[in-house]
Amino acid sequence: MRGSIPSESWQRNAAFVENLRYLIANHPVAKHRAIGVLNGGTLDAAAMRTIHLEYRHAIVQIFTDALLAAQLQTRQLEPRLHPGAKLAPRFLITLNDLDEFGFRPGSDADGYYRGNPEYAHYPLFEKVLDDYGITRQQRQSYVPSQISRAVREFLEQSYGNYLDVTVLLAAAEEEVILFSPPLREATRALGINVDEGYYFVHGVSADENSDAADDDHENDLWTILTQALTPDQYPRVQALCLRYCDLWEQFWTAQLAHVHPMAAVQESRVGMAEAV
């Protein structure tokens, strides 16, 4: 991938990506009060049911859609780059796909790919909803909040543009890294097993409480973006990414306001104090 563009272009793009990652790491969503509230295990089952239904609509249902859109739109690299330049990013996105679809490293007893769609991440999330006692009818009839719909639609609207869907996927992976462990702890606090299933495969590769690789997938997406960027797109890509982070901040603020009013009030006061 590095060899597909001039070395000076790669270095310039890499510097932009590194700064963008810094901006995301220092965005208010990265230090959102919801992280502490969830880690504290103080939310009751009703509150957590709502959060899971909201999160399901905002990102879980469409994450693989976005990955597949990014794979398709790698074709936008051609004819600007050399023939076949789209295959390397497709390879890296496929590693993310395989994880999401239920494949595991290694081979089975027949020497074939090891995996099962029952272990795909979306069905695993549905099993978490089963554990919460959320019926199929309740899932089908649930009306997502305005902010949950906005988060989802923002990502969906990016599917036609390779740069857009890639940078938003990278930001989404960061969001998953930030909030999956707290969601796991809040779920554990209610007596639900999180030592396997959805929460066991989400987090970072160094987390001893999971078998996850979201950090690896995020790094792959940033590398993919480094290959694809051109300087004229820097301002637009950065603005798009930070707007997505803004929406995620609003999403989590809305969750606290809905299920934990005092936390939302305290967060508002902190925000006002910082502004002063």
Q: Which fold, 2-275? A: Heme Oxygenase; Chain A (1.20.910)
8-state DSSP, 120: S
Q: What is the pLDDT of residue 97?
A: 94
Q: How far apart are CA 99 and CA 220, in angstroms?
A: 13
What pLDDT, on the 0 to 100 scale, is given for residue 71?
97
User: For the chain, what are the domain ranges?
Assistant: 2-275
Phi-psi region of 84 (alpha: psi -120 to 50; beta: other; left: phi over 0): left
What's the confidence (pLDDT) of residue 275? Answer: 41
Q: Quick one: which of 162, 169, 157 has its CA closest to 222?
A: 169
Per-residue pLDDT of the chain (276 residues; tens, 9 = 90+): 999 999 999 999 999 999 999 999 999 999 999 999 999 999 999 999 999 999 999 999 999 999 999 999 999 999 899 999 999 999 999 999 999 998 888 888 888 888 888 889 999 999 999 999 999 999 999 999 999 999 999 999 999 999 999 999 999 999 999 999 999 999 999 999 998 899 988 866 666 665 656 678 899 999 999 999 999 999 999 999 999 999 999 999 999 997 754 444 444 444 444 444
Q: What is the pTM of this model?
A: 0.91
Closest C-alpha among 273, 54, 39 to residue 149: 54
Give the Cβ contact number of residue 59 at 10 Å: 21
How far apart (Å, rounded) are the C-alpha atoms in residues 206 and 211?
9
